[in-house]
Amino acid sequence: MPFTTLSELKTRLDAGETTAVALAGLYLDRIAEHNDNLNAFVHIDPAHVLAQAEASDAYRAKHAPRALEGLPIAVKDIFCTQDGPTQCCSNILKGFHAPYDAHVITRLKEAGAVLVGKTNMDEFAMGSSTETSAFGVCRNPWDTDRIPGGSSGGSAAAVAAALTPAALGTDTGGSIRQPASICGITGLKPTYGRVSRRGIIAFASSLDQAGPMTRTVKDSAMITAAICGHDSMDSTCVSDAPVIDWLGSCDKTDMKGLKIGKPKEYFVDGMDAGVRASIEEALRRCAELGAEIIDISLPHTEAAVAAYYVIAPSEASANLSRYDGVRFGQRCKDPEDLLDMYTRSRDEGFGSEVKRRILTGTFALSSGYYDAYYIKAQRVRTKIRQDFIDAFEQVDVIATPTSPITAFKLGEKTDDPLTMYLSDIFTIAVNLAGLPGLSQPCGFVEGLPVGLQWIAPAWREDLILGAASAYEAATDWLQIPAGFGGEA
Amino acid sequence: MEIDVRKVAMLSRIRLTDEEAAEFGPQLSSIIGYVEQLAAINTDGVPPTAHPHDVAMPQRADVVTNSNRRDALQTPAPNTESGLYVVPKVID
C-alpha cells in the first residue's frame, strides 16, 4: 500500500476502499518509523494532518470528490503555509510562521489534498545535495551514506521511501529534476510562468518554478493540473498560458512519429560511464517504441553553468536583502546600531553557501563589474534560449541524462563549491530558457538510480508527459529501496 | 582575479569573521574565475534576457483588493510598538 501511486490511491479512495484518515495514518506511521534515518521531514504535526484528513472524508460524504481529495502531499520547507513553521531550512527564518499561504498551497487545499508536513532542503534552495540545511543533512533511501540530491532532497527522499505518495519541490537550476533522478522517482519542472511563485520564498525570481515529485508521470500531471494557472498576484504567472490535457497526455503507450533530439553536449567525457550507458539504452528503447532519434547540438551548454552562477546569485543577493532583522526573521542580540544589527543578524542567520552566493551576486552587480558579469551573462542567456529554439525546429522533444553522476557520498563535495555547482550541468539550461523539464527513472548503476531528462518547447508539457508515459509503460525502473519495504 | 571580499561583504551587509573572510576570498576568486569563460562568447548585438518569455507586464483593474492585515503581517517581526517596527536608534 505505501508504495502505491497517487492515481491508484485516488481510485481506491473514490471506490470507498480506503479513507483519507486511513491514508494519513499509514504515512504518519511510516514517517515515525523512518524519518530519523532519512531526515526527509523537518516539520510534522500529526494532529493537524489527521484533522485535514477527517475534513476531507467529511467533505467526500456530502460532495463529489475534488481533484486531489484526501491524498497526502508533502511540501518543501520553501512554501509559505499559515499552518506550522516555514523556515526555508535556514537559521535566519527559525520559528517563522507565514501570515499567508503560497498560491500553490491554496490550490492544493482547494483540490482537497491533505498537507503532510515540510520537507528538508538546502538552505534557501541553494545546493545540489541537501547538505546545507540548517536542520541537518537529508539521506538517500537507496544508500543512507549518500546524498538525496538537492535542493528538494527531502521531498525526493520522502517519495522514494514512501513516507508520502507525492511532494512539491521547487526548481531554480535543477532542484526538482536532479534529486528526483538521484532518488529514482519522477519530477516535473513546469514551464516558467505556468505556476504562481507567490508565497514561495524567492531564490532567483526569473528561474524559480514549483512542481511535483511523484512515483509516476501521471501522478506529476495530476498535481500540476491542480496547481497551475493564473494568479493575479504574480505578474510573471502568465495569464493566457496555453491549456493542455494534463491527464490525457499520459495515456500514450508508444512514440510513433516522435522526433527525439539527442544533444551531443550532454554526452561528454567526465560523465559516469554507467549513467551514459543507461541513457543510451533508454534511447534505444524509445526507438523501439517508434521514436526517431536525431543527433542535435546545443552549442552553449557549457556556458549555461557559468551564466547561471552569475544570474542566480545576482537575483539571490537582491531577494535575500529582505532578511535584515527588521520585519521578520532572526535579529542578533543587543545590536550596537543599525549597521551592526544588519551585518551581525545576517552573519549569524545565513549559512556559508548562502553567504557565498550573496557575495558572488553582490560582486557581479557591483559598480564596475555589472556589465562584464551580469549583463554579459544575460546576453549569453539569450544565446542559450536561441539554441533551444533552433533545436526545436528539428525535433519535438530533447532527451538527456538528468545528472552526469549518481548519488555521491555525504561530505564528498562540500569542500569545493565549484565541483558541487558542476553537478547541475545538465539541468541549468532548461531554467535559463524557461522550458519544461521532467526527470524519470531509467536504470541503476551499482544500486543507485539514474534519471532520464525530457525537455520540450515552452508550454508543451504534453509532449514530455506523453513520451515519459510511454517510456514508463514499457519499462520497470520504479523500484522500492531495500530497508523501506512494503508491498506495492 | 583578486577580490576584496571585505568590501563585497560590506556591500552585502554581512559581517564576516576572519575565518570566513579567509575561506570565502579564494572561493569567490575561483567562482568568478570560472564564470569568466563567458567573456570568450561573442554576444555582439545580442540583447540581454531578463525574463524567459516575451510577455507584456499584465495590469489589473485599479481597485483596492487587499484589506488591512497589519497585525498579522507584523506578528513575525522581532520588535514592534504601536504598529511600528522598532530598530536601534538611527539619529542621535
pLDDT (0 to 100) of residue A238: 86
Question: How high does pLDDT run on average in chain A?
Answer: 96
A85 versus A414: which is more confidently predicted? A85
How far is residue A344's CA from residue A333's CA, in Å, rounded to a whole number? 9
Q: Residue A199: which of A79, A84, A112 has the closest Cα? A: A79
Say which of A151, A152, A249, A314 is annotated catalytic: A151
The domains of chain A, with CATH numbers, are 6-255+426-474 (3.90.1300.10)
**Structural domain includes residue B10:** yes
How far is residue A332's CA from residue A349's CA, in Å, rounded to a whole number? 8
pLDDT (0 to 100) of residue A287: 98
**What ipTM goes with this model?**
0.95
Q: Over the stretch A309-334, which tens digit does the pLDDT of each residue have?
A: 999 999 999 999 999 999 999 999 99
> Which of A94-98, B32-36, B57-61 has the lowest average pLDDT?
B57-61
> Which of B5, B15, B59 is the best substitution to test chain A (most A C-beta atoms within 10 A)?
B15
pLDDT (0 to 100) of residue B59: 80
Task: Check CB contact under 8 Å for B77 and A328.
Answer: yes
Say which of A56, A175, A220, A423 is annotated catalytic: A175
Task: Check CB contact under 8 Å for A347 and B72.
Answer: no
**Once rounded to an integer, what is the mean pLDDT over residues A377-403?**
98
User: Domain count of chain B?
Assistant: 1
pLDDT (0 to 100) of residue A485: 79
Q: Over the stretch A40-66, which tens digit does the pLDDT of each residue have?
A: 999 999 999 999 999 999 999 999 999
Please say if the pLDDT value at position A221 is more than 70.
yes
Q: What are the chain B neighbours of A358 within 8 Å (beta carbons)?
A: 12, 14
Please say if the pLDDT value at position A74 is more than 50.
yes
Q: Which structural domain range is residue B17 located in?
A: 1-41
pLDDT (0 to 100) of residue B1: 75
Cell triple for residue B40? Answer: 570568450
Please say if the pLDDT value at position B57 is more than 80.
no
**Annotated catalytic residue A152:** no
List of E strands, A328-482: 397-401, 437-445, 448-455
**Structural domain includes residue B15:** yes
Residue of A nearest to B20 (CA): A352
**Structural domain includes residue B77:** no
**Annotated catalytic residue A76:** yes
Smallest Cβ–Cβ distance between B28 and the set A326, A338, A363 belongs to A363
pLDDT (0 to 100) of residue A488: 42
Q: DSSP letters along B9-59, please?
A: HHHTT-PPPHHHHHHHHHHHHHHHHHHGGGGGS--TTPPP-SSSS--PPP-
Task: Check CB contact under 8 Å for B41 and A235.
Answer: no
The phi and psi torsions of B35 (rounded to 5 degrees) equal: -75, -10
Contact A47, A75 (CB under 8 A): no
Task: Check CB contact under 8 Å for B87 and A338.
Answer: yes
**Structural domain includes residue B63:** no
The pLDDT-based confidence of A443 (bands split at 50, 70, 90) is: very high
B92 versus B82: which is more confidently predicted? B82
Please say if the pLDDT value at position A415 is more than 90.
no
pLDDT (0 to 100) of residue B37: 95
Task: Check CB contact under 8 Å for B53 and A376.
Answer: no
Smallest Cβ–Cβ distance between A235 and the set B43, B57, B85 belongs to B57
Q: Residue A346: which of A362, A364, A365, A329 has the closest Cα? A: A329
* Half-sphere exposure in the Cβ direction for A135 (13 Å, CA): 28
Q: Over the stretch A344-359, which tens digit does the pLDDT of each residue have?
A: 999 999 999 999 999 9
B43 versus A240: which is more confidently predicted? B43
**Once rounded to an integer, what is the mean pLDDT over residues A446-458?**
98
Q: Residue B38: which of A419, A374, A303, A360 has the closest Cα? A: A303
**Once rounded to an integer, what is the mean pLDDT over residues A232-240?**
87
The share of chain A scoring above pLDDT 90, in percent, equals 93
**Structural domain includes residue B81:** no
DSSP reduced 3-state for A75: strand
**Once rounded to an integer, what is the mean pLDDT over residues A207-233?**
96
Residue of B nearest to A306 (CA): B35
The pLDDT-based confidence of B51 (bands split at 50, 70, 90) is: confident
Please say if the pLDDT value at position A437 is more than 90.
yes
**Once rounded to an integer, what is the mean pLDDT over residues A413-439?**
92
**Structural domain includes residue B49:** no
Say which of A7, A56, A76, A403 is annotated catalytic: A76
Question: How high does pLDDT run on average in chain B?
Answer: 92
The pLDDT-based confidence of A486 (bands split at 50, 70, 90) is: low
**Structural domain includes residue B18:** yes
Residue of B nearest to A342 (CA): B13
**Structural domain includes residue B70:** no
Q: What are the chain B neighbours of A239 within 8 Å (beta carbons)?
A: 58
Please say if the pLDDT value at position B40 is more than 90.
yes
**Annotated catalytic residue A151:** yes
